[in-house]
Amino acid sequence: MEKSRQKRENYDKSREILSEVCDILKKTEMKTDSAVYHCTLGELLAAKGSMKEAFQTFETGASELLILEARPALAMAYQSFGRLLKKLKNGNSSKSLEYLTKAADLYREMELPEEALKCTDE
């Protein structure tokens, strides 16, 4: 019981810190970093089962990366989120495949076929 409470407190603190970092980075015009942190926060939320908020938060970061044309960061974010969704096995296998496919497509566009293969072999 104590261990469970401590895990929840650690999760809450991690989420609070990441949210603060996102806000700070936005204010300092570090837009790419802010977008990456949004993607990371989305992963944290997914790992804790807050799927609706996870998808919204992740997509906020992914959209920012797309606008900024930060393709390497976007490909890595899609790949990471897709892997996580696959590991969670919570009915999001189609979303997992969607994100891994987007990552693979971006890697191919950047002429990184070996990275694309890692996505399709997931």
SS3 53: helix
Residue 26: is its pLDDT beyond 80? no
Nearest to 83 by CA among 63, 62, 104: 104
- Can you tell me the mean pLDDT for 13-30? 72
What's the gap between Cα 77 and its chain centre? 5
Which pLDDT score is estimated for 64?
92
Residue 20: is its pLDDT beyond 80? no
Q: What does the pLDDT look like over 32-77, one tens digit per residue?
A: 888 888 898 888 888 888 889 889 999 999 999 999 999 999 999 9
Which pLDDT score is estimated for 48?
84
Distance CA 74, CA 89 (A): 23
Length in residues, the chain: 122
Contact criterion met (CB below 8 Å) for 46 and 54: yes
Q: Which CATH superfamily is domain 2-120 in?
A: Tetratricopeptide repeat domain (1.25.40.10)
Q: How many helices (H) and strands (E) does the chain have?
A: 6, 0
Q: What does the pLDDT look like over 65-121, one tens digit per residue?
A: 999 999 999 999 999 999 888 888 777 788 999 999 999 999 999 999 999 999 987
Which pLDDT score is estimated for 121?
76
